[in-house]
Amino acid sequence: MRAVIYARISRDAEGTHLGVNRQLEDCRQAASARGWDVAHEYIENDVSATKARVRPQYQQMLKDLAAGKAGALIVWDVDRLTRTPRELEDVIDLADAHSIALVSIGGDIDLATPQGRMTARIKGSVARHETDQMARRIRRKSQERAQQGLPNGLCPFGWRRVYDTDDRGRVTGSRDVVHDAEADQIRDGVARLLGGESVRSIMVRWNEDGLPTLRGKKWSTTTVRQTLRRAANAGLRDHHGEIVGKSTSEAIISEDEFYRVRALLADPDRRVHHGIIPNYLLTGIAECGRCGGKMRYLKARGKSGTPSYGCRECTRVARTMGLVDAVVEGVVLGRLQRPDALAALPTVDPQRGDELRARIEGLQARLDEAADLFTAGTITGQQLTRITGQVRPKIETARESLAAMTPASAALSIAGPDAVARWEDATLVTKREIVDALMTVTILPVGPGRGRDPESVKVEWKS
Ligand SMILES: [Zn+2]
């Protein structure tokens, strides 16, 4: 009988991969022990085993087997042959349809027997299940750290991270202690804010007299606001925006001050430039195309009238609110739901922004690859946990850094394929922040009868 051999080279982070020569040798021996001729050896170089990648040798082998070129298939182990339960079923179906003998030698599963096939199926679905559980464990871990008040990611402005070491100099733990000068700056900012000073004015002060951000950058209203409203300032720990308890780090301001700052900064009046209460998407944001004034809300006139945006400075330009909002939302969502939306958001420092995005993508790819290797049985659950434990915090840190330097950081929370649904859920304040950070909206003056023309709303990107 004629047999074919399929061998796959893959890589794992621990460097324990099974050499292809070893696989081939064992398979050849298995063939000769059965008195079979080896008609062909398929060697797949599948070094980065991501799900999307096609395996040309594997495809060719399936074709050849279906064409009757061999009566047996020898693989070292099932996880060398198939990477997903779906693939496994394809191979079993093919073997059944063409009476092909399946031999796997390295593993303890023999696909030639019904028992072996069942074991292979179970092994595949167990691997799946454990990958799902892994993701849950990682989420739980981050939640646990939060509940214990332990810091996540970078040491924030206001503290310095101190490492504990044992007598041999190895790091055994870390804690964040107050950095006097930075903490003074935060206290000063909080006092001024509570005393009625604007975020913008605090920003100017900090840029003139204060310490720069941790990246050595100038402060922006966004970074000042973020710094002042952090729960950590009051020795509290938050997780996904909710306060879960005390932090292990020392407080810089009192809890009372913190809650007053939060309330103040959450006050929508403070969050737009002109102190207009945002009941509408674009009041105080859209501009008049005739005089450059900010558009305000114009009440509906008459019974059938619709509310509008109107310029109160020259009073000569107005447009139906429904039309303007629809145009602007359409443009924003068109951009934010693009797969590369994250990359399209402007940052204070474009080069550094690109570096961070590349880093996030690279780290994410490493996680995906590790998960694939685990599913394929190449690495153990412990190895996957270790890799994931090392990579996750790096992703979080890079994401935080990116958000801190993105003026449209609110847009980061919406960007992605399901942007439309998330936009629906977002508050008006968030929507306004996103529009304001990303674009300039101008209502162009039009002649009579053209007030419903979408072209009369001009949208320009800020980047
Ligand atoms: Zn005007």
Q: Please list the pLDDT of the chain residue by residue as tens digits (463 residues).
A: 899 998 876 554 333 345 677 778 888 988 998 899 999 999 876 554 444 467 788 889 989 999 989 988 988 777 667 766 677 777 888 887 888 888 877 555 666 677 777 666 666 555 555 545 555 555 566 666 677 777 666 688 999 888 777 777 666 777 788 999 999 999 999 998 888 888 888 999 999 989 988 878 889 888 899 899 888 899 888 776 677 778 888 899 988 888 888 877 775 444 444 334 467 899 889 999 999 888 988 877 666 678 899 988 888 899 988 889 988 988 888 888 776 676 666 666 777 877 887 787 778 778 877 777 777 777 787 888 888 888 888 877 777 777 777 666 677 767 777 778 778 877 787 788 888 888 899 999 987 777 778 888 898 887 6
- With tokens 């000063």, the residue in question is 188
Residue 242 neighbours by CB under 8 Å, 6+ apart:
none
Q: What pLDDT, on the 0 to 100 scale, is given for residue 272?
A: 41
Distance CA 157, CA 142 (A): 21
Q: How far apart are CA 155 and CA 142, in angstroms?
A: 16
Predicted local confidence at residue 348, as pLDDT: 67
- Is 270 in a helix, a strand, or coil? helix
The pTM for the full model equals 0.36
> How many angstroms is it from 351 CA to the middle of ligand 1?
38
Within 10 A of 313 (CB to CB), how many other CB atoms are there?
A: 15
Residue 159 CA to ligand 1 center (angstroms) comes to 48
Nearest CA to 75 among 130, 1, 18? 18
Q: Which helix (H) or strand (E) holds 21?
A: helix 20-33
Give the distance (Å) from ligand 1 centre to CA of residue 220.
Answer: 29
Assigned token pair, 139: 């989420």
Give distance in angstroms: CA of 318 to centre of ligand 1: 9
How far does the centroid of ligand 1 lie from the alpha carbon of residue 353, in Å? 37
In the chain, the domains with their CATH numbers are: 2-134 (3.40.50.1390), 159-266 (3.90.1750.20), 274-346+406-463 (no CATH)
Burial 264-300 (b: 16+ CB within 10 A, else e): bbeeeeebbeeebebebbbbbbbbbbbeebbbbbbee
Q: How far apart are CA 424 and CA 345, in angstroms?
A: 20
Ligand 1 centroid to Cα of residue 297, in Å, is: 13
Report the C-alpha gap between 229 and 391 in whole angstroms.
28
Report residue 12 as tokens. Answer: 């794992």
Cα dist. 109→6, 77, 86, 95 in Å?
16, 8, 17, 16
Expressed in angstroms and rounded, the spacing between residue 450 Cα and the centre of ligand 1 is 17
Q: Is 144 exposed, middle or buried (0-12, 13-18, 19+ CB in 10 A)?
A: exposed
289 Cα to the center of ligand 1, angstroms = 7
- Note the pLDDT of residue 17: 45
DSSP-derived pairing of the beta strands 72-75 and 101-104: parallel
Q: Which residue has the tokens 């893959």?
A: 10
CB 19 within 8 Å of CB 30: no
Cα separation of 47 and 142, whole Å?
31
Strands 2-9 and 37-45: parallel
Alpha carbon separation from 382 to 100, 173, 301 (Å, rounded): 36, 22, 68
Centre of ligand 1 from the C-alpha of residue 292, in Å: 6
